[in-house]
Amino acid sequence: MDLPSVDSCLERWDEISAEFKTVEGLNKVYIQKLEELCDLQAKCVKEISHQKYQMGVIKRSLKKLNLSDEDRVRVEKMNRGFDLRNASIIEIEHALPKPNGMYLKIILGNVNVSILNKNEKFKYKDEYEKFKLILSVIGFLLSVINLFTNIRMLELLLMFLLVWYYCTLTIRESILKVNGSKIKGWWRLHHFISTAASAVLLIWPLSPAWYLFRPQFMVFNVYISFVQYLQFRYQQGVLYRLKALGERHNMDITIEGFHSWMWRGLGFLFPFLFGGYIFQLYNAYSLFQLARTDPNAPWQVAVLAALFFFLFLGNTITTLSVIPQKIQENKRRKEGLSKTEENHKADSSKDD
């Protein structure tokens, strides 16, 4: 609302000048608390390092000792204590800043990318998923347009988008890793390889081999964009359920930390995932045949054949290795719940 006169403007200025003194006082308190926070963080990091070092000394010493039966019982009890202590340390470390990995140091330097607030962690993970969705939709539309047109500029735009998309994912996932995500090493490597494959596609010159592979590649992009949309819907459901259940580690990618209710949605997703992996194998085979039968095929054909095959192999092995692991985790979780119920019933009968 505009002020009607100079006098009212001066009066308002005097009011906000008085209020600004409060702002200055709050800022001084904020700076003081921030310095105290940094000191506490440094002390916690130092004490955790001390705990890890001393536990390492104890473990190395125990390995060199000849233990009696009585000592073995005591050491076994101590080892259980080590496991509990390590779990507690991991919990504490989630609230402390962590050093950047080598990749982030190269890209960003020593900028602190640790997110200490739980809500901010969830927000960052949520934005990461939305970023993937938006770029998948754009990639889907460009691929469909390229299927029905033959405009070189649109082809190059799609390839450049893929390079930028996968390169950005590698940075975002490295930040997720710093903030406690348990993302498997393969999925991070997968995006580095995809960045390289997209770059090779970008510099593939116009040739008969390209025009033969082009329609198949556009259909592949359409399918992968569709699968990524399904993954987004699944992952958003998992992420919000974890938040509703009060799970601590909002930065975990959703292929980790399964609960029993997650399997129904994942069972629906698996056929589409493996369909994408088979499509990658088909791309590798088609490119291999082009490289074998066309003596004038550029080097990009053979390189892409190898990259697509490597992606197929890594994706398939990693996903297949996750399934039995998660079945065992689900089984242990159910056994733990049944034991808890039995103990609860036993306690109730004692009370009666």
Lowest-pLDDT choice from 22-26, 95-99, 165-169, 211-215: 95-99
pLDDT of residue 92: 85
Span between the terminal Cα atoms of the chain, in Å: 70
C-alpha dihedral sign at 323, 325, 331, 336: negative
Residue 113 vs residue 258, higher pLDDT: 113
Q: What residues contact 249, with CB distance under 8 A and at least 6 apart?
A: 94, 180, 181, 182, 257
Angle ∠(185,191,197) on CA atoms, nearest 5: 135
Segment 206-218 mean pLDDT: 95
pLDDT value of position 259: 40
Contact 248, 170 (CB under 8 A): no
Tell me, letter by letter, the H, E, C secondary structure of 164-210: HHHHHHHHHHHHHHHCCCCCCHHHHHHHHHHHHHHHHHHCCCCCHHH
In angstroms, the CA 315 to CA 318 distance is 5
Q: How confident is the model at residue 208 (pLDDT cuts 50, 70, 90)?
A: very high
The pLDDT, as a whole number, for residue 242 is 64
Nearest to 217 by CA among 232, 197, 242: 197
Domain boundaries, the chain: 10-96, 104-338
CB atoms within 10 A of CB 22: 9
Whether 111 contacts 96, CB under 8 Å: no
Tokens standing for 65?
């000792």
Average pLDDT in the 78-100 region?
86
264 near 296, Cβ under 8 Å?
A: no
pLDDT reported for residue 293: 92
pLDDT band at 266 (very low <50, low <70, confident <90, very high): low
pLDDT at 288: 96
pTM: 0.77
Specify the residue for token string 């510099």: 203
* pLDDT per position as a tens digit, 127-164: 988 899 999 999 999 999 999 999 999 999 999 999 99
**pLDDT category, 261, cuts 50, 70, 90?**
very low
- For the chain, the average pLDDT equals 85
User: ∠ CA(254), CA(277), CA(222), 5° rounding?
Assistant: 90
Report how far residue 270's alpha carbon sits from residue 276's, in angstroms, rounded to the nearest whole number: 10
The conformation of residue 66, written as its DSSP 8-state character, comes to: -
Q: What is the pLDDT of residue 256?
A: 36
Burial string for 262-272 (b: 16+ CB within 10 Å, else e) reads beeebeeeeee
